Structure 1
Amino acid sequence: MSSENYYIGDQHATYFLTFTVVNWIDVFTRPEYKDVVVDSLRFCQENKKLRIFAWVLMTNHLHMICKTDYPQQLSNLIRDFKQFTAKNLLKMIEEGNESRKEWMLYRFQYAGKYDNRIKDTGFGKIKVIQC
């Protein structure tokens, strides 16, 4: 689901969402990166009123059927989930023993370079996950 093509009209309805890694990079082949996503989902369930009915994590994307309870807005939750998850994935890639580190960081920077909605974080404009 791309924010450019889809609009969440009812913030509390049930939606089928797909989050993809930019350029379909196989990030989630490593257990530690999968754990980042699972931890983020768990946090959203426990603290942000996310209700997950089904989900599956593939090597480069996540499918999820979910909704939020009042007063949480689904669009805000999606924004926070993507931002938090991407930040933690980048930190693990940069600090870890990732053999594809330079290539992955280059692809993430290139994906964010021309996106006006992304703010420069000091490391450049980086985009990891799109919805």
Structure 2
Amino acid sequence: MTKEGYVICDQSKAHFITATVVDWVDVFSRKIYRDSIIDCLNFCVKNKGMLVYGYVIMSNHIHLVLQSSTGELSDLLRDFKKFTAKSILEKIQTEPDPSLKVRIGEAEQT
């Protein structure tokens, strides 16, 4: 592990990936946010060369078994996480869920 995180040594092979929400906030307990993840996965499959072998969405993290058909898994993960985060944050701002907004605000302050 480096300062930035784990390094994907072989970009062309399938990897087991875990992505967590900052401060383990239970964002994915609502269907609307779980659907955002699925929509983003589908987008990456159709447009970015993502191969999804399996996934599990937990309340505050996701597990994925992924591969990149282009051989650039790190870039693909970066784009997926960035796009997914923006999508979910937009929904948090537009969908009323005061308890989640409070928890997100607390996470941003730390």
TM-score by length of 1: 0.76
The one-letter amino acid of 2:55's match is W
* Bigger shift: residues 38-47 or 2-11: 2-11
Structure 1: which 5+ residue stretches go unaligned?
112-131
**1:99 correspondence with 2:98:** yes
Name the residue aligned to 2:47: 47
TM-score by length of 2: 0.89
For residue 3 of structure 1, report the CA deviation from its aligned partner.
7.3
Name the residue aligned to 1:34: 34
Which 4+ runs in 1 deviate beyond 3 A? none
Name the residue aligned to 1:121: none
For residue 5 of structure 1, report the CA deviation from its aligned partner.
3.1
> Is the 8 Å Cα contact of residues 68 and 74 (structure 1) preserved in structure 2?
yes
Name the residue aligned to 2:109: 110
Taking a change above 3 Å as real, the CA distance of residues 73 and 3 of structure 1, as seen in their structure-2 partners, is: farther
Alignment of 1:4-83 (within 5 A): 4-70=4-70, 72-83=71-82
**RMSD of Structure 2 on Structure 1 (CA):** 2.0
Taking a change above 3 Å as real, the CA distance of residues 22 and 60 of structure 1, as seen in their structure-2 partners, is: same
- Mapped partners of 2:3, 2:33: distance in 1: 24
For residue 106 of structure 1, report the CA deviation from its aligned partner.
1.4
SS of residue paired to 1:5: coil
SS of residue paired to 1:46: helix
The percent of aligned pairs where both chains have the same amino acid is 38
- Mapped partners of 1:81, 1:5: distance in 2: 17
The one-letter amino acid of 2:73's match is L
For residue 78 of structure 1, report the CA deviation from its aligned partner.
0.7
Question: How many pairs does the alignment contain?
Answer: 110
